[in-house]
Homo-oligomer: A and B are copies of this chain.
C-alpha cells in the first residue's frame, strides 16, 4: 500500500459514496442502451449525455465524440503536463434483455441489500462508475495523475467504429498507459488481472454440388452430399473429441505456456467443475484443472458454430442437399497470425475438397501483455490492497477488439482491471453487480492511480 493513502480514510470515502454510487448506477441501468437494436438509438444518445453529465459533476471535462455509429464519451480529469496520464476504457452499451425471462425488470435497477440487479449493472456500467468515483477521490486528494475516461457505446456489437474514432482523436487520447475494466474474475475468492487475449479467425466454408435438393431415392449414392463432405473436411481439420487441430502448421507459432503462467491460472480459482456449473455443461474435454485453464486461455481452438443446408425441420426428410455452409472460427493465441492461419486453413480445405469455397470472416490478432511491467505490478499491489488478496494473472479466452485498436493506434497495451464475478451473470438473465465489488473497485482504482503517480 502506497504510504500516501490512508486506508481508513479511503474506506470512509467509499462508504460515503455509496448512496451517490447507487443513484448513479440506477440512472445508467434504467436507460436501455442496447446497441444491437436500432430502436434504442435514442437511449444510446441519452446514456451518452447522462454519462457526460456525470463526468462534469466530478469536475472532469467531458465531450461526446460522434462516430459513424454510436458516439464515444470522452472525459478528462487533470491536465498537468508534469503528471503521468492514464486512460481507462469502459463501455456503456449493454446486451439485450428479454424481460419475460428476468425475475425483475431488466431496465429498472433493483437494489437488494448491496446487490444491484439490472442489465448492464456488471457489464459494464458498475465498473465504469467505480472508476469514476475513484477518479473523484484522486482529484480531491491531489493524486498527481491525469485521468482520461473512454466510454464506448458499441462494445457489444464488436466496436465497428472504435478504431476509426481513435485515429481521428489520437492526440486527444494520448496517454502513458491504458487500463480496461470490463472483465470477470474466476472466483469471488481471488482477484484476477488479465494480461492476454485470444485472437480470432472466422471463416465460412461453402460447397455447392447442384442447383436444387433432390430426392434421395432417385439420386442417393450417385449424387454428392455436400453436408457430409463438409462434415468430413471438418473432421480432418480437427479432432472434435480432443479438440486437437490437425491442419499442418497450425500450432507452429503458438507460444509455450510457462510453468508460472500455469501456476497463476490455477491460483485464480479456476476449476473445471465450477466451469461446468457456470456454463451448464454436461461434460468437458478434460477434467484436469490446469489442462482446462490452458484450453480456454492459452491454447488455440477450432470451432464449428453451425452447418446449414439441407433439411432442418422436424424428423427426417429424405433429400440429398445441393449446398452446405459450415460456419467456423479459430481462437488464436500468441504468436499466431490470423492471415497466416487463414492461409493454412484455406490450403488444407482446398486440398481435401477442391470445389469448396473458403470465405474469410472477421479476424483479430491475439494480444499478450506483461505480468511484470510497471502497470502489472501497480495492478497487483492495488488489487491486493483493496481486496486483501494477491490477484491471479489470467488471460481472457475471448477477443476484445477495442484493446487491439488501442494498442494499434495509441501504442499501449492494456491491463485488465475487472471487477465482475462469475455469479454476476454477464450477458445472462438477472445480471447484477454488488457493493462489495464496487467499493473494492473504487479503492483499487485509487491505489492504482496512486501507484502510477508514484512511478513518475
Report the bound CA distance from A433 to B385 in whole Å. Answer: 88
Report the bound CA distance from A72 to B243 in whole Å. Answer: 56
* Complex interface: stretch among A44-52, A76-84, A197-205: A197-205
User: Which residue of chain B lies nearest to A307 when distances are taken between CB atoms in the complex?
Assistant: B307
CB under 8 Å from chain B, chain A span 233-288: 234-235, 238-241, 243, 272, 275, 279-286
Contacting A212 at CB < 8 Å: which of B222, B280, B295?
A: B280
Are B311 and A272 touching (Cβ within 8 A)? Answer: no
Q: Give the residues in chain B near A300, CB-CB below 8 Å.
A: 221
Q: Which of A296, A304, A328 has the most CB of B within 10 A?
A: A304
The answer, yes or no, to whether A208 is at the interface (CB within 8 Å) is: yes
Q: Which of A272, A307, A329 has the most CB of B within 10 A?
A: A307
* Complex interface: stretch among A115-123, A139-147, A318-326: A318-326
Q: How many copies does the complex hold?
A: 2
Are A241 and B222 touching (Cβ within 8 A)? Answer: no
Are B305 and A218 touching (Cβ within 8 A)? Answer: no
CB distance from A155 to the nearest CB of B (A): 13
Q: Which of A223, A272, A275 has the most CB of B within 10 A?
A: A223
Contacting A304 at CB < 8 Å: which of B208, B211, B228?
A: B228
Q: Give the residues in chain B near A362, CB-CB below 8 Å.
A: 316
Are B311 and A218 touching (Cβ within 8 A)? Answer: no
User: Which residue of chain B lies nearest to A218 when distances are taken between CB atoms in the complex?
Assistant: B397
CB under 8 Å from chain B, chain A span 418-437: 427
The answer, yes or no, to whether A3 is at the interface (CB within 8 Å) is: no
User: Which residue of chain B lies nearest to A226 when distances are taken between CB atoms in the complex?
Assistant: B240
Once A221-B295, A231-B240, A231-B307 are accepted as A-B contacts, the answer to whether A329 and B321 lie under 8 Å apart by CB is: no
The answer, yes or no, to whether A104 is at the interface (CB within 8 Å) is: no
What is A's interface to B at a CB cutoff of 8 Å? 198, 200, 202-204, 208-212, 214-225, 227-232, 234-235, 238-241, 243, 272, 275, 279-286, 292, 295-296, 299-312, 315-322, 327-329, 331, 355, 361-362, 396-399, 427
| 6 A-B pairs with C-beta separation under 8 A | A210-B280, A216-B303, A218-B279, A231-B235, A305-B321, A306-B311
Return the 4 tightest CB-CB contacts between A and B, nearest first: A217-B398, A211-B280, A231-B231, A306-B310
